[in-house]
Structure 1
């Protein structure tokens, strides 16, 4: 029997359980999954919930429906669906994910950077300036994001960079939150420290500097959430 779906967000939970079974090869690509009544019993939810969960998985291209035949496994991996769910996660999840991406990017950047890369980062910081200086909030967010994106690019890991670029909408929301004083803002000196750490060529120092950079934001979020 499948693990029963929880009562919170039943459709999402049911869809996740079905997806897990597909990823676990219970049903392989091209195989027909159980019908609606059977899935309802296996998941411990209503047929209506199963119907909505299947629709969700069809839209994510995990499943496909064949008229008069049933529902079949179309694929066992859907990166776009996973990334979209990541974007919809809460702010703390986004900050933790941003931290993980940037820590690894800084570590790789320390190993793979060129002197020109360091000059580019410094120029981007000069353009960024201080958040309290006269400039529009949107301009500042875009300039701050340009610095962080360039640091990730210097990792020369295409998969990491593409993931970060897809995640950039959430990153912008995090930066806006720091500007509105909902979260502590890492200052310009803290950004320069990241560049200095990368320039040393010490990957562990670079990674630790980014962790320290993000620590006040993560701490503030944990306090706000009572953790």
Structure 2
């Protein structure tokens, strides 16, 4: 009996791993309904009870959202992101506060550790962001702005901080979408040139101040729920 339990637990863990990989690799993007239990059971070659247990575990971890009578949807790409969504709920201010904590230190480290490839990528994203804003192409703006901030943090070359930030990718993108949709970006200083200049000039104090200032302005203007797209 203990041996059978061990085998079953290992099988469930394998299914959990395969489903997590599919989510992380983008096979099922955020908001997508995953295949039903019967299809997953056939595809993975395991029983439906095993699939059900794996789905239940991922829902508990915040990656999946089980909607009775409708199906199961992808909610987040990692446990960290799922936890942030549970903790922050749908409040825009809470997401911006979490972002501020990570991005200020990320900008400071970026000014100390960035390389030329980082600067090139940041400049490309800045150009794409500004172009999208001028053209009022908000979906493109959201993508470029969210990726710019992720790249700033990544440029600090602190793997733990970068991993933590990757964990809130969906929340960051949703907050950018909310502020652009509500035109908060037009009410506050939206130019990120000073932040990029501080990173390029290896000025950690100024970089941290610029990153914090940008988020503070959004926090001052933001109120209400973070509506998911």
For normalisation by structure 1, the TM-score amounts to: 0.57
CA distance in structure 1 between the aligned counterparts of 2:130 and 2:114, rounded to whole angstroms: 23
- 1:196: Cα distance to partner? 0.4
Q: What does residue 120 of structure 1 align with?
A: 121
Unaligned runs of 5+ in 1: 1-54, 61-77
* Equivalenced residues, count: 152
Report if the CA contact (8 A) 1:131-1:179 is conserved. Answer: no
- Comparing 119-128 and 179-188, the one that deviates more: 179-188
Deviations 1:128-149 (A, max 9, x none): 2244433642222111111111
CA distance in structure 1 between the aligned counterparts of 2:201 and 2:134, rounded to whole angstroms: 30
CA distance in structure 2 between the aligned counterparts of 1:79 and 1:120, rounded to whole angstroms: 26
Deviations 1:76-116 (A, max 9, x none): xx867644423525211100110111100000001101123
Report if the CA contact (8 A) 1:94-1:170 is conserved. Answer: yes
Report if the CA contact (8 A) 1:121-1:195 is conserved. Answer: yes
State the SS of the aligned residue for 1:129. Answer: helix
Report if the CA contact (8 A) 2:81-2:170 is conserved. Answer: no
Report if the CA contact (8 A) 1:131-1:140 is conserved. Answer: yes
Q: Decide whether aligned partners of structure 1 residues 88 and 195 sit closer, same or farther in structure 2, where only a CA change above 3 A counts.
A: same
Unaligned runs of 5+ in 2: 1-55, 62-78
Q: Decide whether aligned partners of structure 1 residues 96 and 134 sit closer, same or farther in structure 2, where only a CA change above 3 A counts.
A: same
State the SS of the aligned residue for 2:135. Answer: coil
Q: Decide whether aligned partners of structure 1 residues 87 and 164 sit closer, same or farther in structure 2, where only a CA change above 3 A counts.
A: farther
Q: What does residue 152 of structure 1 align with?
A: 153
Report if the CA contact (8 A) 2:132-2:140 is conserved. Answer: no
State the SS of the aligned residue for 1:174. Answer: helix
**Larger gyration radius, structure 1 or structure 2:** 1
Does residue 161 of structure 1 match 2:162?
Answer: yes
Q: 1 or 2 for the larger relative contact order (CA 8 Å, sep ≥6)? A: 2
RMSD: 3.0
- 1:194: Cα distance to partner? 0.6
- 1:168: Cα distance to partner? 1.2
Q: Decide whether aligned partners of structure 1 residues 121 and 132 sit closer, same or farther in structure 2, where only a CA change above 3 A counts.
A: closer
Report if the CA contact (8 A) 2:80-2:164 is conserved. Answer: no
